[in-house]
Amino acid sequence: MQGELMNKKAQTVSFEMLMWIPRIVYLILIIIATTGIIYAYIATNVSVGAVESHILLHRLQHSPEGIAEFDAETKRVYPGFVDAAKLSESNLKAALNAENREFAARFVISDLNDENKEVVYFDRQAYGVWAPVAAFVGIQQAQNAETSGSGRKFAHSEARYTYISDSMQLSKLETVVITPDE
């Protein structure tokens, strides 16, 4: 009787040990599936050039050092009013704090008929070199062709409707910021 009891106990222990094999395999499959789902939804390469240029333009339009009209007495910025005197390369460099940044920009102020254009560049030399490259990359992206390499440049353009503070005339501020591929 004692031998039968030992035999049943050994069978139970061996059955429990055998059942650990499917449990371990199932656990490994769950870990692999969870890891695969996590890696599928993690963006490993994110382009922030458009967002960065948008933030830079907001800084120009909403900060006292930027191109917007600023009332020193009330310390208020009027974002819809562009002070044409502040739209210069030296002021843009100071307002954007861009001595160490690698980008180029073009600012065009015109009335709604696209007349009376005033063009100001931020790093005009780099803009002249990068504009053809950015145009080529834009064409390649429109055709869904793959362009790669560290020399790529991307153009981010925006248009905003503002008033020029001198003439109080409704105008259009068009900007093109070219950033390099990071």
What is the per-residue pLDDT across 119-145, written as a single tens digit (0 to 9) for each?
888 777 877 877 777 777 666 565 565
Q: What is the DSSP letter of 65?
A: T
Instruction: Verify that 107 and 162 share a domain, yes or no.
Output: yes
Whether 68 and 152 map to the same domain: the answer is yes
Indicate if 86 and 138 belong to the same structural domain. Answer: yes
**Nearest to 66, CA basis, from 106, 96, 23:** 96
Is the distance from CB of 37 to CB of 66 less than 8 angstroms? Answer: no
Q: Is 97 found in the same domain as 126?
A: yes
Q: By mean pLDDT, which of 24-33, 101-110, 114-123, 133-142 is the weakest?
A: 133-142
56 and 31, same structural domain? Answer: no
The Cα 159–Cα 163 span in angstroms is: 13
Pair 93, 131 in one domain: yes
**Which residue intervals of 79-123 are DSSP H helices?**
89-96
Structural domains in the chain (count): 2
Q: What is the pTM of this model?
A: 0.62
52-85 pLDDT, tens per residue? Answer: 778 878 888 888 888 888 888 898 888 878 877 7
Whether 33 and 107 map to the same domain: the answer is no
Q: What is the mean pLDDT of residues 2-26?
A: 74
Contacts 24+ apart (CB under 8 A), 85-90: 85/166, 87/118, 87/120, 88/120, 89/120, 89/121, 89/122, 89/123, 89/124
Question: Quick one: 71 and 24 in the same domain?
Answer: no
Say yes or no: 66 and 37 in one domain: no
8 and 80 both lie in a single domain: no
Residue type, 120: V
Do residues 120 and 147 share a domain?
Answer: yes
Q: How far is CA 78 from CA 11, 62, 85, 162, in A?
A: 84, 8, 15, 10
The strand pairing partners of 173, in sequence order, are: 109, 160
Same domain, 54 and 91: yes
| Structural domain harbouring 174 | 49-180
Q: Compute the radius of gyration of the chain from its Cα atoms.
A: 31
